[in-house]
Amino acid sequence: MQPTPTALAPSRVAVAIVEDDAGFLDALRQAVQGAADLRLTGVAVTRADGLALLDGPPAHVLLVDLGLPDGSGIDIIRAAAQRWPECSIMVSSSFGDEAHIMQSIEAGAAGYLLKDSAPVRIVDEIRSVAAGGSPISPIIARQILLRFRGRGTDLTPPATTEAAAEAEPQEEAPSLLSPREKEVLALITKGFTTVEVARMLDLSHFTVRTFVRRIYSKLEVTSKAEAIYEARTLGLLNS
């Protein structure tokens, strides 16, 4: 595991990488270090080292490979979502099957790229995810669309009817959103803008946007009104 430098320049995006393919890692390292607006803050080549990396200062973006020699990168994604809640996590993997895609997204990944993406393009996508985007390789996007298309009428966000609400176990609701996500949602519910929320929580504007995007994704909604309705239905808001 590479030591993690401290004292990051505020204008640069801190990037950490978990990747065991030496050739691909070297190309990523060069691409990130060659970008004036990015800074490489940590590198790990195993699951164990990736989890240890989370003990250090959080990065703005964490790039994770799934097929590691001692386990799955999904474990790192899940741990990072809890320990680095303000970090945007993106997968870079050779696995393009539905199981890996959905498990990664459910664990907390905000983007999913296949390794056929050139390192230069990945650098562009790092900027995108840091700004609140969700970069996804075209073939991965197709997989996700096919999955939801197969659900038919279930494309409507869940728990929007009494029957759907009853089908959702209430004891699972508290774990749906992280404490920070619930804090952000509560403030937005009170009418504060993302800029105001960022100021109140001493976070950057793009970090708050990332939280909002994660909240929408977890609640399967596309607007503030829907998010508030779903959160109240699931018991995530007091009123």
Q: What is the side-by-side strand order in the sheet with 38-44?
A: 38-44, 13-18, 61-64, 88-93, 111-114
Give residue 165's pLDDT band: very low, low, confident or very high (50, 70, 90). very low
Given this model, what pLDDT does residue 185 score? 87
* Lowest-pLDDT choice from 2-6, 81-85, 94-98, 181-185: 2-6
Given this model, what pLDDT does residue 68 score? 93
Given this model, what pLDDT does residue 168 score? 43
Give residue 177's pLDDT band: very low, low, confident or very high (50, 70, 90). confident
Percent pLDDT > 90 in the chain is: 32
What number is the average pLDDT over the span 153-173? 39
- Return the CA Rg of the chain: 18
State both tokens at 222.
């596309």
Task: Identify the structural domains of the chain with CATH numbers, from first to last.
Answer: 13-148 (3.40.50.2300), 179-234 (1.10.10.10)
Give residue-wise pLDDT tens across range 47-83.
Answer: 999 999 999 999 999 999 999 999 999 999 999 999 9
Given this model, what pLDDT does residue 178 score? 79
Residues pairing with 67 in the sheet: 72
pLDDT of 215 strictly over 80: yes
Given this model, what pLDDT does residue 111 score? 87
Cα(64)–Cα(6) distance, rounded to whole angstroms? 21
Higher pLDDT, 68 or 238: 68
pLDDT of 154 strictly over 90: no
Cα(219)–Cα(232) distance, rounded to whole angstroms? 11
Q: What is the mean pLDDT of the chain?
A: 79
Cα(222)–Cα(226) distance, rounded to whole angstroms? 7
Give residue 207's pLDDT band: very low, low, confident or very high (50, 70, 90). confident
For the chain, the three-class secondary structure string (H helix, E strand, C coil) is CCCCCCCCCCCCEEEEEECCCHHHHHHHHHHHHCCCCEEEEEEECCHHHHHHHCCCCCCCEEEECCEECCEEHHHHHHHHHHHCCCCEEEEEECCCCHHHHHHHHHHCCCEEEECCCCHHHHHHHHHHHHCCCCCECHHHHHHHHHHHHCCHHHHCCCCCCHHHHHHCCHHHHHHCCCHHHHHHHHHHHCCCCHHHHHHHHCCCHHHHHHHHHHHHHHHCCCCHHHHHHHHHHCCCCCC
Residues pairing with 52 in the sheet: none
